[in-house]
Amino acid sequence: MRSSLFKSGLEKAPHRSLLYALGLTKEEMRRPLIGVVNSANEVVPGHIHLNTIAEAVKAGIRLAGGTPMTFPVIGVCDGLAMNHAGMHFSLVSREIIADSIEIMASAHPFDALVCIPNCDKVVPGMLMAMLRLNIPAVIVSGGPMLAGTTSEGSFDLIDVFEAVGKFKRGAIDEEQLEELEENACPGCGSCSGMFTANSMNCLSESVGLGLPGNGTIPAVSAKRVRLAKTAGMRVMDLLEKNIRPRDIVTAKSIENAVTMDMALGCSTNTVLHLPAVFAEAGLPLTLDIFDAVSRKTPNLCKLSPAGKHYLDDLERAGGIPAVMSELAKRGLLHLDVMTATGKTLGENLADLKARVKNFDVIRAREPYANEGGIAILRGSLAPDGAVVKQSAVAPSMMRHTGPARVFDSEEAANKAILGGEIQAGDVVVIRYEGPQGGPGMREMLSPTSNIMGMGLGETVALITDGRFSGGTRGAAIGHVSPEAAEGGPIALIRDGDTIEVDIPARKLDMRVDAKELETRRAAFVPQKKEIASPLLRRYASLVKSAAQGAVYKDPAAR
């Protein structure tokens, strides 16, 4: 056992003395020691109940003959960090989470791990650590929040963000806004739409590192507690069989995950996180792969923000296994890949008798579109690529040409949008918000929601070298690469320049004469921000482009 390194042999008597101080018995020390990574805290709604999940995981480990040992990691609530300086730290936390798990599981060499995340950067951070360490491991999330309800129906957090613009233009009154903000988020769990947290939890299940149900069983359900117990038992089985994360994550299972990403209509942030996760296993995932898979994968689901279904609806409709079963019928999945159950994906689907139970939620008979939820755009404005959630774009905005309204920060753009300065037909450009230039590549949920709330969602596009929340909808194009701080073309745009968006043709161009661009390039001086935080200064100096998952540069290449 790996844990023998700090518990076995004469010279480890001092180590055992410290284990005795934890209250462990000799019998517990003899058993495999399983690290339980718990991201519980009292800040993030998705994490306030994770101690309950951790206790269930520990019970499962003990049932199967192991000794659980818990340790914590941090977690940022993107909703609470949104639209202020706190969002600079959100994406940064992904790397810190991965590093902190590596530290704990290397300094204390556990035999296996169970990782308990729930929200945006915690899920990919834990997946990165699992693949980096490559010891038997299972991920089990805290589950999605139920949709909120008001007198007018079901809602979620995104409706509250969009309500700010609606209130500003007089479409709703103060009483309606207050009812919405008090009821849209009814309790614990990751916010109830197909936002980044739920996208990553569903894809953890899709790639085989999470058990069936990981992505969709509601946080408040006893079924979630039973899943956590099962995860504790399954990790002991993986340990016995020596099945490790890199045995599960292969080129085939990566293709399965991207296929599911497209069918489900997941967050654009998956285009950042999946390459970062799979890079830990030495498996490349480029923007070209995303686009190639998108072109052949039907979009079967439109959960919020793209539609009015929520994660609990998807669970009742059959969950991730039901979607996978439909894609398998179309020959779009590799069924021979290994999973955390210790069985292949094909065996799991057969055991579960996976099938669609609600064809309104999972549109297997009549897909929403013949292409997947995400598209990769390229052109003179984004030579290295840009990302859009095409499943959440109004038909009228799939092609759009308009004048640029340029802002060098999110705050300036928000002020203009809510101040009524943006007109129908405009293309809002927000730059210097990329991984380096932000720094930290802030999410742009407030400006995109304000565009919707101000009634401009079907007439205005937004383009940024920053990124979006999974809750963003509309013609919102992010991850423009190279970013402005690197001297990308987005840095050269001026107010009034004509911008052309053609999502079906995968094009993003600026109609500016080549000689004029040369003149602008010769005079270009990148904006230099004063960065007070030592952490953010270090991050800005280390981080790669969004087109490469915003991972750290290889030390040899610095």
Q: What's the token pair of residue 376?
A: 């990769």
Measured CA to CA, the distance from residue 508 to residue 376 in angstroms comes to 10
Active site (annotated) includes residue 90 = no
CB 64 within 8 A of CB 36: no
DSSP string, 157-190: HHHHHHHHHHHHTTSS-HHHHHHHHHHSS-SSSB
Tally of CA atoms within 13 A in the half-sphere of 50 that contains its CB: 34
Measured CA to CA, the distance from residue 382 to residue 445 in angstroms comes to 21
CB 428 within 8 A of CB 402: no
3-class secondary-structure state, position 299: strand
Residue 403: count of CB within 10 angstroms of its CB: 14
**Helix 222-241 vs helix 50-63: crossing angle, to nearest 10:** 40
In sequence order, the 6+-apart residues with CB closer than 8 A to the CB of 14 are none
Residue 138: count of CB within 10 angstroms of its CB: 32
CB 371 within 8 A of CB 392: no
DSSP string, 267-281: -TTHHHHHHHHHHTT
Catalytic: which of 469, 533, 541, 545?
Answer: 469
CB 419 within 8 A of CB 528: no
In sequence order, the 6+-apart residues with CB closer than 8 A to the CB of 412 are none
What residues are labeled active site?
469
